[in-house]
Amino acid sequence: MQRLMKKGVRVECTLNEMAFDGQETDATRKAIRDAILAFMAAQGEADYRNRREMQARGIAIAKQEGKYKGRKPAVSYEEVRAYHAEHGGSVRTLAEHFGVGVATISRALNAAND
């Protein structure tokens, strides 16, 4: 946000109708602006971390109760490896064939080496 302020950008917050002007010249107003922005950034970071922690706790509890199994695989790694062994092809071609991303195919092929 400081980079934007130095470039003279004006940021308007629609939630509470606050405006932060990067072209402010008064030192006191700049200090107040920067303090408010720093506080808002810190509060946002704290909220984000709290949400992540609560989500992790919920997942841990659900796993203990056997209710959380995680995300289902997009494609069977064994199926990818078998198809690749039989037909060959590039990672991109395999990704298009299976309808998944190239990273998924790379993980599937590299999992055979583990």
Judged by phi (left if over 0) then psi (alpha if -120 to 50, else beta), residue 65 lies in alpha
pLDDT in tens, 1-38: 778 778 888 888 888 888 888 888 888 988 888 888 88
Q: How far apart are CA 60 and CA 68, in angstroms?
A: 8
- pLDDT 10s digits, 34-88: 888 889 889 999 999 999 999 999 999 999 999 988 888 889 999 999 999 999 9
Pick from 47-51, 70-74, 91-95, 99-103: least confident: 70-74
Pairing of strands 10-13, 18-21: antiparallel
Task: Please check whether residue 86 is in contact with residue 78, taking contact to mean a CB–CB distance below 8 angstroms.
Answer: no
